[in-house]
Amino acid sequence: MKLKKAGFLVVLLALAAATVGAVPPSAHADPADYPMTLFPSGHASPFSIAPGPDGALWFTFSNATEFGNAIGRIDTAGNVQRFELPNPGSQPGYITAGPDGALWFTEEFGNRIGRITTAGAVTEHPIPSGSNPLYIAAGPDGALWFTEVNEQTGDRVGRMTTDGTVTDELPIVTPEVECSPTGITAGPDGNVWFTCELADQIGRITVPKPVPPGPAPVPVAVTAEPRFTG
């Protein structure tokens, strides 16, 4: 009986070894298949980057030194342009393409949302609560949505229309621990989603949907009465 068990174990071990030997080794990409090119951006710590509607990439210079406080543009050939912000110490953070053909970005230390056209014209819009904006994304409703951190009045999610009007600053209520909202994005369900980094939660804001048009009126048949002339 012991011999039979020993023989069975030998067979199992042999099959296991054959199976392991048949598994191909982990594939590693050849760096030559993915050539990488690094382009100098200039001083001041390039931070966030997003594709623009002009076929170029737009990014923020987030360094708080004199070299920061700017928005950069790089074309696909690596040529860089730099656009200074009008207010020093703004600390531009995250950037995204807006629904209006411009780029929108947060100014964490400036407590503002900035807008830059593809021609380089910059406008800045203050946040009424004075909060520090972090991430920003184009929403499903044609507005810009952004996360706000405020240790005094609480964390929020803000909404700004493309004319620079802040229509809402929605408080985020999390029990016991602050939310510390970070990322935000439009979801495939037509709503806005965001992360609460410290509260370990994911938030969803239900965006009002436009009321669909009602049915077209049914045309009323008109019967022409004959006219008699005498």
Say what the pLDDT of residue 64 is. Answer: 60
Q: Is the dihedral of CA 35, 38, 39, 41 positive or negative?
A: positive
> Does the pLDDT value for residue 9 go beyond 50?
no
HSE of 43 in the Cβ direction (CA atoms, 13 Å)? 6
Mean pLDDT of the chain: 86
CA atoms within 13 A of residue 31's CA, in its CB half-sphere: 2
- Please give the average per-residue pLDDT across 158-164, as a whole number: 97
- What was the pLDDT predicted at 221? 61
Q: Which of 153, 97, 96, 160 shows the shortest CA–CA distance to 125?
A: 160
For residue 108, what pLDDT band results from cuts at 50, 70 and 90? very high
Region 105-119: mean pLDDT is: 96
Distance CA 94, CA 108 (A): 9
Determine the pLDDT at residue 5. Answer: 44
Distance CA 227, CA 36 (A): 86
pTM of the prediction? 0.79
The continuous run of DSSP H or E covering 2 comes out as helix 2-22
pLDDT of residue 160: 98
CATH of the domain spanning 45-205, picked from 2.30.38.10, 3.10.50.40, 3.40.50.12780, 2.130.10.10: 2.130.10.10
Q: Is 75 exposed, middle or buried (0-12, 13-18, 19+ CB in 10 A)?
A: middle
pLDDT more than 90, % of the chain: 67
Identity at 59, one-letter amino acid code = F
Query: What are the pLDDT digits (tens) for 184-202?
Result: 999 999 999 999 999 999 9
- Given a cut of 60, whether residue 68 has pLDDT beyond it is yes
Q: Where are the domains of the chain?
A: 45-205
